[in-house]
């Protein structure tokens, strides 16, 4: 066909180069090509157009993740509320009453519930994304679609859980605010940024681990208690002001630390808003997403041979 023919490109994982005419009739120089299949680029330039084209499938994955969580359970979505309430009560008893950890004057119920709400969103995104290849091997081996849709569906579906638990936190906060024990600050405007940071960090770390667990299954066992250890290295159950100076510099490298400090500062008036630490978290999450997307893209080509 001459160079005057119009062409449209589309990427597939097979890496083949082929062409399909728009019509099966006579092939003339004026007949446009409907599809040209070529190799995908080596660098994972995530095409927004391709994700948008598969948006219906993304919504189906989101629906699947939400429904499968409480399917065949008696209480159903109420587990979204039961889990943070009972966890908060245990934290108040163990860390607040027995261990006597400081909450900087904030009510213990709100202090721990705030940390639990934000931590649950990050940990759920991280844990479920980290086993994407293993959990969806049968699906990935049958049909092609952008593999990034599955991690994205996990991040989006967990937003519903976060919204429900965040609403529970706001109910408790309104009770204490009406009593004059807490007050909101201007930092509450940064909550969308904090939520985006948690989603980015959970997605980035999850994709990084998912790429490595296809070959090194030991990381699955490390993940189970590694997330718990990470929680204790993050100011979820304690304020940063209570950290000894010799450990404060080490904790400053944790990109999750400013998220919890700013969240408490926004709703409880305790902690501090450190713009430099927030900027570090933003930079860390951007670099992490780029690196993890590159590794995820490389592994998705051959993971069926090792998973």
- For the whole model, what pTM was predicted? 0.80
pLDDT at 14 over 50: no
| 24 and 58 within one domain | no
pLDDT per residue as tens digits for the range 51-66:
788 888 889 988 888 8
Is the same domain home to 40 and 66?
no
Q: pLDDT by residue (tens digit) across 206-216?
A: 888 888 877 77
pLDDT digits (tens, 9 = 90+) for 136-184: 777 777 777 778 888 899 999 999 889 999 999 999 999 999 988 888 8
Tokens standing for residue 201: 């960090």
Query: Are 172 and 30 found together in one domain?
Result: no
> Each residue of 221-231: pLDDT tens digit?
788 788 888 99
Give the integer Cα–Cα distance in Å for 297 and 277: 30
Give the closest residue to 68 by CA, choosing from 79, 57, 56, 84: 79
User: Does 19 reside within a domain?
Assistant: yes
Query: According to the model, what pLDDT value does residue 85 have?
Result: 92
Contact assessment for residue 118 and residue 198, using Cβ atoms and an 8 Å cutoff: yes
The residue ranking higher by pLDDT, 302 or 197, is 197
- Asked if 307 and 161 sit in the same domain, the reply is yes
In a domain, 35, yes or no: yes
Q: For residue 39, what pLDDT band results from cuts at 50, 70 and 90?
A: low
State which residues form the domain around 14.
Answer: 1-45
Examine the domain organization and report whether 57 and 15 are in the same domain. no
For CA atoms 40, 287, 212, 220, the dihedral sign is negative
Residues 95 and 40 in one domain: no
Check if the beta carbon of residue 70 is closer than 8 Å to that of residue 77.
yes
Residues 265 and 177 sit within 8 Å (Cβ to Cβ): no
Q: Is 298 within a domain?
A: no
CB under 8 Å to 139, separation ≥6 — which residues?
none
In this predicted structure, what is the pLDDT of residue 123?
92
Q: Could you tell me if 119 and 186 lie in one domain?
A: yes
Q: Are residues 27 and 160 in the same domain?
A: no
Last residue of a domain, one of 9, 27, 45: 45
38 and 182 share a domain? Answer: no
**How distant, in Å, are the alpha carbons of 16, 43, 58, 92 from that of 103?**
60, 46, 41, 10
- Helices 108-129 and 79-91 sit at what angle, rounded to 10 degrees? 120
Considering the domain architecture, whether residues 39 and 54 belong to the same structural domain is answered as no
Query: Total domain count for the chain?
Result: 2
Structural domain contains residue 248: no
* SS3 sequence of 91-134: HHHHHHHHCCCCCCCCCHHHHHHHHHHHHHHHHHHHHHHCCHHH
- Answer yes or no: do 13 and 106 share one domain: no
Q: How far is CA 154 from CA 37, 65, 69, 88, 138, in A?
A: 30, 7, 11, 24, 18
> Is the domain of 112 the same as that of 3?
no
In-domain check, residue 280? yes
């Amino acid at each position: 066909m001459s160079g005057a023919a119009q062409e449209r490109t589309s990427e597939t994982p097979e890496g083949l180069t082929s062409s399909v005419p728009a019509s099966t009739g006579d092939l003339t120089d004026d007949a446009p090509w409907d599809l040209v299949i070529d190799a995908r680029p080596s660098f994972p330039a995530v095409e927004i157009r391709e994700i948008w084209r598969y948006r219906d499938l993304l919504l189906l994955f989101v629906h699947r993740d939400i429904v499968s969580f409480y399917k065949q359970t008696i209480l159903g979505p109420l587990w979204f509320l039961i889990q943070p309430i009972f966890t908060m009560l245990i934290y108040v008893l163990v860390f607040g009453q027995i261990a006597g950890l400081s909450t900087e004057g904030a009510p213990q119920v709100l202090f721990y519930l705030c940390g639990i709400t934000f931590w649950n969103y990050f940990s759920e995104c991280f844990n479920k994304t980290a086993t994407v290849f293993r959990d969806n091997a049968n699906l990935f081996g049958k049909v092609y679609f952008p593999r990034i849709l599955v991690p994205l569906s996990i991040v989006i579906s967990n937003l519903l859980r976060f919204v429900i638990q965040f609403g529970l936190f706001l109910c408790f906060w309104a009770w204490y605010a009406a009593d004059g024990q807490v007050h909101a600050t201007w930092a509450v405007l940064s909550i969308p940024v904090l939520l985006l940071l948690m989603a980015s960090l959970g997605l980035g770390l999850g994709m990084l681990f998912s790429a490595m667990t296809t070959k090194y299954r030991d990381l699955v066992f490390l993940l189970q208690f590694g997330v718990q250890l990470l929680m204790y290295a993050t100011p979820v159950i304690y304020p940063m002001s209570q950290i000894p100076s010799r450990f404060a510099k080490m904790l400053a490298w944790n990109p999750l630390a400013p998220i919890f400090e700013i969240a408490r500062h926004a709703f409880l008036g305790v902690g501090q808003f450190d713009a430099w630490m927030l900027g570090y978290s933003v930079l860390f999450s951007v670099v992490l997403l780029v690196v993890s997307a590159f590794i995820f893209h490389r592994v998705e080509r051959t993971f069926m041979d090792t998973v």
